[in-house]
Amino acid sequence: MHVTATIDELRAWRRGTPAASWGLVPTLGFLHEGHLTLVRRARQENEQVGVSIFVNPTQFGDPADLTRYPRDLERDLSLLRQAGVDLVFTPEAATMYPAGFQTRVHVADLGQRLEGAARPGHFDGVATVVAKLFNLFQPTRAYFGQKDAQQTVVIRRLIDDLNFDLSLVICPTVRASDGLALSSRNARLNEAERQTATVLYRALQSAARHLDEGEIEAAVLRELIARIVADEPLARLDYVSVADPDSLLEQDQVRRPVLLSLAVFVGPVRLIDNILLE
């Protein structure tokens, strides 16, 4: 496995390694089974597999959130080695954003809803870094998790709008046995908060059950989710959404497919989750 932090070396490797197909898995690192599912899928489907590990500062609005983001490069590299990855790109912020950097990729409406409304500028940071990674790796396929549902929608738009010649592969959310979606941020939860964190998936599932039983008022489902979260003393709802999964516009009367999503502060940690009902 080749590991590099420089763009020149990445390009040299990419050019000097002829392969029929390249898979790319972009990550922020502190890898868990969710990431590794993407990596394994990429391994199955491509001759060469690249992974980027970069805690991208431009997608973090809150500097404290960026500082506290968990990191363990040695452990990450060992997991990627075991998974049979060919190339790992671990740039510094100054490599991706050198002095004088001025260009931003802005995905207009899709990037302003849900997470974009709660975290202004977040998707400009995501779209910019992902466009750079696509240019650098020139992958045949890029792998993203359904866990970050809006991110997949924004990147679909980015690929189509900027004519990136690659396939977007979206992988299902990997969960702990109690339903909590795996996330690097879960490492920051204490024991009581970790218990509380199951509320995200419990609330989503409860709304899905009500929908199955015939509830079609989106407002009722949002209210139900809000009440379940409010019952947890350590949890505070940031937003809840019942939206069209393509436009991300809120629905009034639920029509499938529908994306149920929410963001919740559990203690100091902000968690997100979603389910897509086809």
Q: Which residues are catalytic?
A: 35
Around 28, how many Cα atoms within 13 Å sit in the side-chain half-sphere?
20
Q: Which stretch, 67-75, 78-86, 181-189, 232-240, contacts ligand AMP (CB under 6 A)?
A: 181-189
Among 10, 24, 38, 80, binds ligand AMP (CB under 6 A): 38
Smallest distance, ligand AMP to C-beta of residue 223, A: 27
Q: Which residue in this structure is represented by tokens 């407002």? A: 219
Smallest distance, ligand AMP to C-beta of residue 235, A: 19
Note whether 264 binds ligand AMP by CB under 6 A. no
Measured distance CA(124)–CA(143) in Å, rounded = 19
The residue among 253, 251, 260 whose CA lies nearest residue 278 is 260
What pairing do the DSSP bridges indicate for beta strands 141-145 and 22-27?
Answer: parallel
* CB-based closest residue to ligand AMP: 145
Among 10, 24, 28, 197, binds ligand AMP (CB under 6 A): 28
List the alpha helices (DSSP H) in the chain. Answer: 7-16, 33-45, 63-68, 73-82, 93-96, 115-118, 122-137, 149-161, 191-196, 199-212, 218-230
Measured distance CA(180)–CA(194) in Å, rounded = 9
Nearer to ligand AMP, 11 or 40 (CB): 40
Q: Are 101 and 65 in contact (CB under 8 A)?
A: no
Binding track over 130-169 against ligand AMP, x by CB under 6 A: --------------xx-xx---------------------
Note whether 184 binds ligand AMP by CB under 6 A. yes
Smallest distance, ligand AMP to C-beta of residue 28, A: 4
Which residues are at the interface with ligand AMP (CB under 6 A)? 27-28, 34-35, 37-38, 144-145, 147-148, 171, 173-174, 181-184
